Chains A and B, each alone.
Chain A
């Protein structure tokens, strides 16, 4: 991810009202995670495992924050039970920004299976998601996905195409 992409995402999150972000980094998310750590308007919590971040975001929501979770798709798959029991079951929103490994253009053979499973699992969990691969789509998609998460009291996801965002 280029630095200007990372800056656009951070700025869009703030404009949408997000003030709390949990994250677990990866090579493609590095610039975003570092930018989140430097931003004083967002409370940034780097976590050790993605489902931990879902729990932290849910707790922050109950305390009045507007949280988001930044992670790769492998971490989303790991978080399925946390999303079901902590968010969907009681009705707690969280905006997820999911870096998409294993999509078209993927060179790492090990990521292809996770990539192929990501959208079917989002659909199976009835999580509304948008795929973003163009710079100009970042801001409106973050705004709209955050609005839907808050109004529906459900998790929503933005799947970031890592090839296009590089």
Chain B
């Protein structure tokens, strides 16, 4: 199975879940399948799991799904220990493991050798860890995590290769503003500070 097939299989199950995507083709694939202001596309390799953890801790009543990659998670293995210790019950950490640095022309990652990210997650203290190798198994495990109320780690062993989708027309700053405005509206929060208008203040008019 390929990553795009996995994403396509689960996209229809999404409602108002918040999503953090890793840098690379996954963000274009996901934006094409589920264009939604609750998608946050990270322009960094390594911190997808950490961004998703921060978001999940800030909004414990919202489901957060991270689409991570093997090359990314290998840069930030310690985040698994932090996630397991914090144990947010609203976070699903999905790792698409294609055993290579696909966006960097495909050199093998450590998972092409001996490393097993699911075993590492278990060792860090994750209780719900599964490795999926077929599309039906991936969809089933994702649905069960989506309905559950716990921290999940789903490793999807995939073949390399990106879906045939257009590049997501979303600038990073634009993505941030859309995401934050969506959170402000849906959570009735004030996140972005406003500059005060002094136009109607008689004390400042005389200055």
Contacts and interface: CB of A to CB of B under 8 A. Distances in A.
Interface of A: 20, 43, 45-49, 51-65, 67, 81-82, 85-86, 89-92, 150-151, 153
Contacts of A53: 50
A91 B51 contact: no
A140 to B, nearest CB: 19
A49 B176 CA distance: 25
Interface in B24-80: 40, 42-44, 46-47, 49-59, 62, 76, 78-79
B189 interface: yes
A67 B55 CA distance: 11
B79 A48 contact: yes
Nearest to B48: A55
Contact of A64 (B43, B176, B183): B183
Categorize the interface residue count of chain B.
35 or more
A163 B71 CA distance: 40
B197 interface: no
B51 A90 contact: no
Nearest to A56: B54
A90 B175 contact: yes
B58 A65 contact: yes
Contacts of A59: 20, 50-58
A1 to B, nearest CB: 23
B175 A52 contact: no
Contacts of B43: 85-86, 89-90
B76 A52 contact: yes
A82 B42 CA distance: 11
B71 to A, nearest CB: 15
Instruction: Point out which of A47, A56, A59, A92 has the most chain B C-beta atoms below 10 A from its C-beta.
Output: A59
B78 A62 contact: no
Interface string B165-203: 000000011011001100110010101110100000000
12 contacts: A45-B86, A46-B85, A47-B82, A55-B49, A56-B54, A58-B51, A59-B57, A62-B183, A63-B56, A64-B59, A81-B44, A90-B43
